[in-house]
Amino acid sequence: MMFLSAVCARMVRVEWVSPVIALTDVLERHASFRRGGALRQEGGERALRGFLMTGFFMRSLQWPWDRLVLGESLDLLAVDWRDQPVIYVETKTPMQALHVRHRAEVAGRLDRWGSFRHAVLTNGALWERFDDFTTRPLKPTVEFDVTNPRTADDFFAPLNARRYLSNVP
């Protein structure tokens, strides 16, 4: 059984794609899904969450599928080699602006795990990364807007799986 897991893990490795291209792909997929009527009477947040997991975290940040967990109150977790969550991502529907109340929602969930290194609030196009969890109200350490790709590397580098998993190239 262990052998099968190792083979499957190698089979799902995906080729690296730059963060801006991957995010653009995710947002285009979400818009296409919505235009097709698949999100009728659904805000689209759950779809975005799944697209971010497979289309962004796996492709650009090199997270293997078995280190990513989709949830309900903690939308997306990236876990390290010990199965400890190190990144918490709170998603909002792509058309929804990010608000102070969303930051309060993130802040209210940070005490669930002592292992978090970063928290992220995003609607797919706008991103806020929180590295300091002690300040209230919670303030973003750095922000990223997909329409301004120059800052992508600085924003996403601390979220790369290489920082938390030794077997990531």
| 79-120 pLDDT tens trace | 999 999 999 999 998 888 999 999 999 999 999 999 999 999
Range of the domain at 143: 18-163
Amino acid at 151: T
Residue 151 lies in a domain: yes
Edge-to-edge strands of the sheet including 85-91?
Answer: 68-70, 76-79, 85-91, 118-122, 126-130, 142-145
**Both structure tokens of 3:** 């052998």
Per-residue pLDDT band at 11 (split at 50, 70, 90): very low
Q: How far apart are CA 130 and CA 38, in angstroms?
A: 32
Tell me how many domains the chain contains. Answer: 1
Does 23 reside within a domain?
yes
Is 1 within the bounds of a domain? no
Sequence-ordered alpha helix ranges (H) in the chain: 2-11, 19-35, 45-52, 100-109, 152-156
Confidence at residue 105, expressed as pLDDT on a 0 to 100 scale: 96
Q: How confident is the model at residue 8 (pLDDT cuts 50, 70, 90)?
A: very low
- 60: pLDDT strictly greater than 80: yes
> Is residue 10 domain-resident?
no
| DSSP 8-state symbol, 115 | T
User: For residues 38 and 66, what is the distance between their CA atoms, to the nearest angstrom?
Assistant: 27
Q: Which residue has the higher pLDDT, 68 or 6?
A: 68
What mean pLDDT do residues 39-65 have? Answer: 87
Q: Is residue 116 domain-resident? A: yes
* 54 inside domain: yes
On the question of pLDDT at 149 being above 50, the answer is yes
Tell me what percent of the residues of the chain surpass a pLDDT of 90: 70
Q: Is 144 or 167 the better-scoring residue by pLDDT?
A: 144
**pLDDT given for residue 122 in this prediction:** 97
Given CA atoms 48, 53, 58, 60 in this order, what sign does their dihedral have?
Answer: positive
Task: Look at residue 41 and tell me whether its pLDDT is greater than 90.
Answer: no
Q: What is the pLDDT of residue 45?
A: 82
Q: Cα separations (Å) of 154 from 28, 149, 160?
A: 23, 10, 11
Q: How confident is the model at residue 43 (pLDDT cuts 50, 70, 90)?
A: low
Mean pLDDT of 67-76: 93
Give domain status of residue 7, yes or no.
no
Count other C-beta atoms under 10 Å from residue 16's C-beta: 13
Mean pLDDT for the chain overall: 88
Would 2 be classed as within a structural domain?
A: no
